Amino acid sequence: MTDEVEPLELARGVYWVGVIDWNLRDFHGYVTPKGTTYNAYLIVDDTITLVDTVKAEFSAEMLKRISQIVDPAKIDHVIVNHVEMDHSGSLPAIMTAAPDATIYCSKNGKDGLHLHYKADGCEDWAIEVVKTGSELSLGSKTLMFIEATMLHWPDSMHTYIKEDKILLSSDAFGQHIATSKPFDDEVGDVMAEAAEYYANILMPFGRVILKYIDTVKELGIDINMIAPGHGIIWRQDPAKIIEAYGRWARGETNKKVLIIYDTMWGSTHIMANSILEGIKAAGVEVKLLNIRKNDLSGIITEVLEAPVIIVGSPTLNNGIFPSVSELLTYLKGLHPKGKQAVAFGSYGWGGGAVKAVEKELEMAGFELIEPGLQIRYRPDEEGIAACLQLGDRIAGFVQ
């Protein structure tokens, strides 16, 4: 059980008191095969401060972990970096244990808390609104707050421990990994998980991320450690994850094409493979993913790294195949920036999927670089040649 895990001291008087959710496999639709952690931090100084909490179902475990360090009733300050319930869910339990504690959060955070925790007596909680640059002295340590609006909710903010140079970054810079080894230098390379997390949670907010990175530079703060709300803590090389966020936010990609498709009776599959051969023959890296054999979270991570995606759908009932529709709906929400796309697919009589896919891709922010290719029934020699030629032309966009 996770409650056997000891609190962990990150720096003198700064403890991890979160929980490890080993068996989480679905985080509101995001597939999490490696589980996750909900990271909360306790700062013991002249006053006692808790930064963030954990999912409600783990309240008792977090309180037990805090109790190994201090009596939870002695908590003076509770920092709510983010209202989403995986981080605020145990706030009612904390405010019951420490009813005199003061909560610090952003203006949007206060609104969110009032809307979500009314039934838990939120109106009786003392809540102070803080802004970027606001400071809270804890005794020998000082907290500084940095608003991170829309990174990824309107209420999001980060907390910086000035003397220890630790940034408590809420969802930003996180990864969904459950591990008993909490630091980056202990677990090997976690950039693939960090990229998947960015792609599925933060991709729509590239501009916000770049602005946030500028704000951190303007504040002139040194960061020795980034302790996010999920996954491992970056202590060996915190700059590495900030640089990666800059790269992803600017839309920097590898020179590769991604083909994503589904198929009913194999014809769209043949088209997908023929387009792939055309791209490959032109010397460009290409990857092919069948939607029903891959989870959407992984597909979106591949989209993050590809400048061009090719989406294939057979026509079903004059429209898009359901699995392809699901992908396109997800893509519309994530709205990747600066990417190009092409649609293709097989049909039996009236057709319709390719045009509909193109419309959805445009709504998701993609630039269509070639007219969609549709082929009736199974591609013959002429159809395969058309696919190869399409692949060759697409390769030209990434060379």
Helix axes 206-219, 238-249, angle to 10 degrees: 140
Number of residues that bind ligand FEO (CB under 6 A): 9
Least Cβ distance, residue 69 to ligand FEO (angstroms)? 23
- Site for ligand FEO contains 86 (CB under 6 A): yes
Given 55, 65, 77, 87, the residue binding ligand FEO (CB under 6 A): 87
Where in 117-156 is the site for ligand FEO (CB under 6 A)?
Answer: 152-153
- Give Cβ neighbours of residue 336 (< 8 Å, ≥ 6 apart): 203, 251, 303, 304, 364, 365, 366
Please name the residue that has the structure tokens 């990609």. 253
**SS3 labels along the chain:** CHHHCCCEEEECCEEECCEEECCCCEECCEECCCCEEECCEEEECCCEEEECCCCHHHHHHHHHHHHCCCCHHHCCEEECCCCCHHHHCCHHHHHHHCCCCEEEECHHHHHHHHHHCHHHCHHHCEEEECCCCCEEECCCCEEEEEECCCCCCCCCEEEEECCCCEEECCCCCCCCCCCCCCEHHHHCCCHHHHHHHHHHHHHHHHHHHHHHHHHHHHHCCCCCEEECCCCCEECCCHHHHHHHHHHHHCCCCCCEEEEEECCCCCHHHHHHHHHHHHHHHCCCEEEEEEHHHCCHHHHHHHHHHCCEEEEECCEECCEECHHHHHHHHHHHHHCCCCCEEEEEEEECCCCCHHHHHHHHHHHCCCEECCCCEEEECCCCHHHHHHHHHHHHHHHCCCC
Residues 150-169, mask of contacts with ligand FEO (x by CB under 6 A)? --xx----------------
Least Cβ distance, residue 84 to ligand FEO (angstroms)? 4
Least Cβ distance, residue 173 to ligand FEO (angstroms)? 12
Q: Select 56 or 270, whichever has its Cβ closest to ligand FEO.
A: 56
Catalytic residues: 28, 82, 84, 86, 152, 171, 197, 230
Stretch of residues binding ligand FEO (CB under 6 A), selected from 12-20, 79-87, 273-281, 316-324: 79-87
Residues 191-230, mask of contacts with ligand FEO (x by CB under 6 A)? --------------------------------------xx
Least Cβ distance, residue 245 to ligand FEO (angstroms)? 16
Least Cβ distance, residue 27 to ligand FEO (angstroms)? 8
- Site for ligand FEO contains 84 (CB under 6 A): yes
Q: Select 65 or 87, whichever has its Cβ closest to ligand FEO.
A: 87
Stretch of residues binding ligand FEO (CB under 6 A), selected from 80-88, 131-139, 202-210, 359-367: 80-88
Stretch of residues binding ligand FEO (CB under 6 A), selected from 47-55, 82-90, 313-321, 360-368: 82-90
- Site for ligand FEO contains 55 (CB under 6 A): no
Given 82, 158, 269, 339, the residue binding ligand FEO (CB under 6 A): 82
Where in 228-257 is the site for ligand FEO (CB under 6 A)?
Answer: 229-230
Where in 298-327 is the site for ligand FEO (CB under 6 A)?
Answer: none
Least Cβ distance, residue 246 to ligand FEO (angstroms)? 21
Least Cβ distance, residue 185 to ligand FEO (angstroms)? 23
Q: Note the residues at the interface with ligand FEO (CB under 6 A).
A: 82, 84, 86-87, 152-153, 171, 229-230
